[in-house]
Each structure stands twice: as structure tokens, then as C-alpha cells.
Amino acid sequence: MAHFAKLGPGNIVENVVVVSNDIATDENSGIAYLQSVYGSDTQWKQTSYNGSIRKNFAGKGYKYNSSLDQFVPPKPFESWTYDSELGQYVSPVAVPNDSGTIVDGVMKIYRWDDFNKQWVS
């Protein structure tokens, strides 16, 4: 099955639909089919669960960045920046090295404090 993201104003993903591989033999045939169903003025881009197409699987609210040819997720925090190589947002400060380790029987878990721009245990 092939997955296609319907783009709305500002290239924001409005919906993701599935098209049979018998119909969507490539991206263009999938788009042609979807435009025949939803209207010739609709915009579509193919996406994939494994990130092999456009870095991320598109989800509602994601933005298609045409210059990167990637689906960019919503920004989780104002201070974070998008790393196009990783295909994700990164914090300005690295997660502490002990994140996920067990100390005295308790797992160290951190959350991001955007106001103070630091990880808090």
C-alpha cells in the first residue's frame, strides 16, 4: 500500500490516505488517481512509514518543506531547531548522558524546560 499526504494552505498536511499499489505504481500515478477522486486542484505528496520517502512519515499538522523535500513535524519547543539530516528537531542542550539509566532502582527520566532551556530530572 502507498501512502499519500494531502497538502493544504502553507503545505500543511491535512490528511494521509492509502492507495493500492495496483493503482499507485509510482508517485505520479497515485497523485493522478487521488486528484481524480478529490479534485484536480488538490496537492499530494507520497510518504512512507520507514522514512525512505521525504525523511518522515507525514502526519496531520506536519509541513511539507519543498526545498528539503521533507515532511517536517510540528516544532515541539520554541528553542529547538530542525536538523534536516536527522529529520527531527533537536534541543539546544544535549540530553544528559544518564538519561534512561537506572539509579537506586529508579530510571532517570528528563523533561525539557523551554523557559530555562535545560533538561530537568
Per-residue pLDDT at 14 = 98
Annotate 89-98 with b (16+ C-beta within 10 A) or e (fewer). Answer: bebeeeeeee
pLDDT tens readout for residues 2-19: 999 999 999 999 999 999
Please enumerate in sequence order all residues whose Cβ is within 8 A of that of 118, keeping only pairs 6 or more positions apart, or say none: 93, 112
Per-residue pLDDT at 42 = 98
Cα angle 37, 34, 61 (rounded to 5 degrees) comes to 115
Per-residue pLDDT at 76 = 97
Per-residue pLDDT at 82 = 97
pLDDT tens readout for residues 60-119: 999 999 999 999 999 999 999 999 999 999 999 999 999 999 988 999 999 999 999 999
pLDDT tens readout for residues 24-55: 999 999 999 999 999 999 999 999 998 889 99
Cα angle 70, 55, 27 (rounded to 5 degrees) comes to 70
Per-residue pLDDT at 64 = 98
Per-residue pLDDT at 51 = 81
Per-residue pLDDT at 88 = 95
